[in-house]
Amino acid sequence: MRFSYLALLGFFISAILLPGCGSPRQESNSALADTLTVDSLAIFTTAIRNQPGAIAPYLNRAGYFIRKDSLNLALNDVNSALDIDENHAGTYAVLSDIYLYSGKVQRALDALKKALELNPSDAQVDVKMARVYLTMSDYKQTFESLRKALKKNPENVEAFFVSGLANEEMGDTAKAIESYQLAVARNPRHYNALKELGILFAIKKDKLAIDYLRNAATVRPDAVEPLYVLGMFYQENNEPDKALNVYNEILLIKPDFKLAHYNKGYVFMVYKEDYTEAITAFSNAIELDSDYADAYYNRGYAYELSGNREKAQSDYRKVLTLNVNDEKAVKGLNRLDEN
């Protein structure tokens, strides 16, 4: 079994829109998301202590807590900011994030409407509004909010990016690419736009995917997602050695990324017919996830191809304990019984 670009695309978009679904996550509170480190919490807490009565340190720490899915702690900081000034527009914008990530969509919209009431010129609030409408699949309101944002600030990078997400979700790949490219033209280091462009060009089997994915990986050297798509691009376009190099690159960054181990096994088995290396790679994936049915099946198939019937049968039976009546495993066992 291989993973399709389209499946990855859907996963990445949902993760961008709704943090908590897995990686990667939506940037919270402007560029702050790109600069958070393990020391950020201590820095924000110190700023709160040193600047009594200041709102920004509370909102910065709330943004940190949002990224860490500590929404109650984030709400505490927002409430502290509201105690200082209940008419601070930026506080309601951060509050909208908390509501959105808690699944309280209408409250998120109400908070953004309050932010716009207090500061009608803030284009970023319109972009946040567009994101909320996009999670509701309300494309008319999504684009209306984006038009308002761009009218206020024609160079708003996030407006172009969210337009790309919306067009992509609606199935208009050409317009999605155009929107993402407009975002990258204004911010060449926009990680998510670069990554989405890489995925879309990979689907088209266009080598432009390579540059976009490499650029995304350069922006975030600790992120494995663009490299994984790049490895798949090479794999799907019959360049197994390049695919293996990229998967090994991923494992230097994140040794427990099971998909890289799994795909290495697939490349060794299908493209290079090296069943020993394939078995090792699938075994590494299984060590990371003992319920990884696809890894068990493919390791069983690698054992079958290498002539080890007993271990092949064992893996096929294991698949059936995980997925009752799995068609591939049943066929595998039938093949072994016939020979």
Q: What is the DSSP string of 100-144?
A: HHTT-HHHHHHHHHHHHHH-TT-HHHHHHHHHHHHHTT-HHHHHH
* Other CB atoms within 10 A of residue 208 CB: 14
* Other CB atoms within 10 A of residue 294 CB: 21
Residue range 242-294, pLDDT digits in tens: 999 999 999 999 999 999 999 999 999 999 999 999 999 999 999 999 999 99
Compute the distance between CA of residue 158 and CA of residue 179 in angstroms, rounded to an integer: 10
Q: For residue 27, what pLDDT is reported?
A: 36
Q: How confident is the model at residue 296 (pLDDT cuts 50, 70, 90)?
A: very high
Q: How confident is the model at residue 32 (pLDDT cuts 50, 70, 90)?
A: very low
Asked if residue 13 has pLDDT above 50, the reply is no
Asked if residue 33 has pLDDT above 70, the reply is no
Domains along the sequence of the chain with CATH: 36-120 (1.25.40.10), 259-339 (1.25.40.10)
The residue type of 314 is S
270 φ/ψ angles, rounded to the nearest 5 degrees? -85, -45
Compute the distance between CA of residue 201 and CA of residue 208 in angstroms, rounded to an integer: 6
Q: Are 135 and 108 in contact, with CB atoms under 8 Å apart?
A: no
Q: Are 91 and 113 in contact, with CB atoms under 8 Å apart?
A: no
Asked if residue 80 has pLDDT above 90, the reply is yes
Q: Residue 257 carries which DSSP code?
A: -
Residue range 55-64, pLDDT digits in tens: 999 999 999 9
Q: How confident is the model at residue 26 (pLDDT cuts 50, 70, 90)?
A: very low
Tokens representing 21?
């679904």
Compute the distance between CA of residue 216 and CA of residue 100 in angstroms, rounded to an integer: 27
Asked if residue 8 has pLDDT above 60, the reply is no
- Name 65's Cβ contacts closer than 8 Å, sequence gap at least 6: 71, 73, 74, 77
Q: For residue 24, what pLDDT is reported?
A: 27
Q: For residue 5, what pLDDT is reported?
A: 54
Average pLDDT over residues 137-151: 98
Residue range 36-59, pLDDT digits in tens: 555 788 999 999 999 989 999 999
- Name 297's Cβ contacts closer than 8 Å, sequence gap at least 6: 1, 315, 316, 319, 326, 328, 329, 332
Compute the distance between CA of residue 287 and CA of residue 100 in angstroms, rounded to an integer: 36
Residue range 197-239, pLDDT digits in tens: 999 999 999 999 999 999 999 999 999 999 999 999 999 999 9
Compute the distance between CA of residue 245 and CA of residue 212 in angstroms, rounded to an integer: 18
* Other CB atoms within 10 A of residue 295 CB: 29
Q: For residue 338, what pLDDT is reported?
A: 86
Compute the distance between CA of residue 288 and CA of residue 13 in angstroms, rounded to an integer: 25
Phi-psi region of 18 (alpha: psi -120 to 50; beta: other; left: phi over 0): beta
Helices (H) and strands (E) in the chain, counts: 20, 0
- Name 100's Cβ contacts closer than 8 Å, sequence gap at least 6: 18, 108, 131, 132, 135
Compute the distance between CA of residue 201 and CA of residue 230 in angstroms, rounded to an integer: 11
Angle at 131 between CA 126 and CA 132, to 5 degrees: 95
Asked if residue 147 has pLDDT above 70, the reply is yes
Average pLDDT over residues 174-183: 98
Q: What is the mean pLDDT of the chain?
A: 90
Q: For residue 141, what pLDDT is reported?
A: 98
Asked if residue 166 has pLDDT above 60, the reply is yes
